[in-house]
Chains A and B, each alone.
Chain A
Amino acid sequence: MKDVFTGSLVRLSAFDPEEMSKVFPRWNSNSEYFRLLNSSARSMQSSKAALKWMEEEVGEMSLESYYFSIRTLAEDKLIGEIGLDVVNWPGRDAFVGLGIGETEYWSKGYGTDVMNVLLRFAFMEINLRRVSLGVFEYNPRAIRSYEKVGFRPEGRMRRLLKREGRRWDNLFMGILREEWLELNASVPAEAAIGT
């Protein structure tokens, strides 16, 4: 069977609150990163508060939420986090959220790679039928990356955000399982059943 955790640049790894709570404050102190990911301002969170929040939110293994840390294959370095929240089981739809906190890994294909692995996990392991996401219109790098992976624009919440004196839209994008399968129909049958 194809590996559902490994891509070509990164792999999905366990989301460990101990480890994550140590890097989150640093990542979130970079306001550019924070503003790409979050729609509203927050007071800065300490490691201790982050740990508590993570243990509550991510501590248990739930049927609805799947959170991963992202590690590079080359150096096993922790560079970000990605999570899937199932919003509608009968419809088999989930929202994905991705953040690459280590900025030197931006614009190098890591985002595209991890999103593709996540979609493989979503469609081939959790058996979802579609994945949705929201992205701010001032994040063209992410929008391009998601389009490359197969997401299509589905709508916008007009003028949702206000930052730096102007208003910005929130874009909705979605990808259907059949669409992703078509883009990724490269795995031959024999390779799909492992020993």
Chain B
Amino acid sequence: MKDLFRGELVRFTFEEPEAGAKAEVRWQRDTEFIRLADSDPSRLSSEKKLKEWFDHQAEDGPKSERVSFSVRTLEEDKYIGFLGLWIDLIQSEAWVGLGIGEREFWSKGYGSDMMKLCQQYVFAELGLARLSLGLHEYNPRALRSYEKCGFRLEGRTRQDLAREGHRYDSLWMGILRDEWQQMQKGENR
């Protein structure tokens, strides 16, 4: 059986509260990162507040509706980002949100590797039927990466997001389990 948590460039883990919070504080100061990752307004949280989130995760323990991963590189074991899943068990679908906080790892295939690992987890381990995600129209790098992973663009909510005096569309994408399985077959040939 495949190692669910190891890809080709990264692995999934979960950070200890101290280390996790320290890194997040630094990433939050990078406005470009925040604005690519999120539609909520950029904000700066204290290390204490961020540590509370990690502690909370530790206390609550594993939950079936929400799975969070920290992402580390295989080569140097460097903590570079996160991937979160919001799972709807009844509809057998999940939403994924990911972010790479360390800039030097952008545009190098790390995002795609994270997403591929995520797809494998969602379809082969959780057995869900569908995986969805949203992104901003000003994030073409992510759009390309996700398309390469098999996601299809399912529409745009027009002028959904307001930033820097402009309005931007939100893009909605999805991939079905059958489609992912087809891709796997294709790749294994």
| Complex contact flag A–B (Cβ < 8 Å) | yes
Residues of A whose CB lies within 8 Å of any CB of B are 63, 89-90, 126-127
B contact residues around A127 at 8 Å (CB): 90-92
Q: How far is the CB of A81 from chain B (nearest CB, A)?
A: 22
Q: How far is the CB of B1 from chain A (nearest CB, A)?
A: 15
Query: Closest A-chain residue to B126, C-beta based?
Result: A90
Query: B109 contacts the other chain (Cβ, under 8 Å)?
Result: no
A contact residues around B89 at 8 Å (CB): 63, 89
B contact residues around A90 at 8 Å (CB): 125-127
Q: Is the interface of B mostly helix, strand, loop or mixed?
A: loop
Contact A63 B64 (CB under 8 A): yes
Closest 3 CB pairs of A and B: A90-B127, A89-B89, A89-B64
Query: B65 contacts the other chain (Cβ, under 8 Å)?
Result: yes
Query: Closest A-chain residue to B129, C-beta based?
Result: A127
Sample 12 A-B pairs with CB under 8 A, ordered by A number.
Answer: A63-B64, A63-B65, A63-B89, A63-B90, A89-B64, A89-B89, A90-B125, A90-B126, A90-B127, A126-B90, A127-B90, A127-B91
B contact residues around A126 at 8 Å (CB): 90
**Using an 8 Å CB-CB cutoff, how does the interface string of B25-44 with A read, 1 for contact, 0 for none?**
00000000000000000000
B contact residues around A63 at 8 Å (CB): 64-65, 89-90
A contact residues around B126 at 8 Å (CB): 90
Q: How far is the CB of B118 from chain A (nearest CB, A)?
A: 16
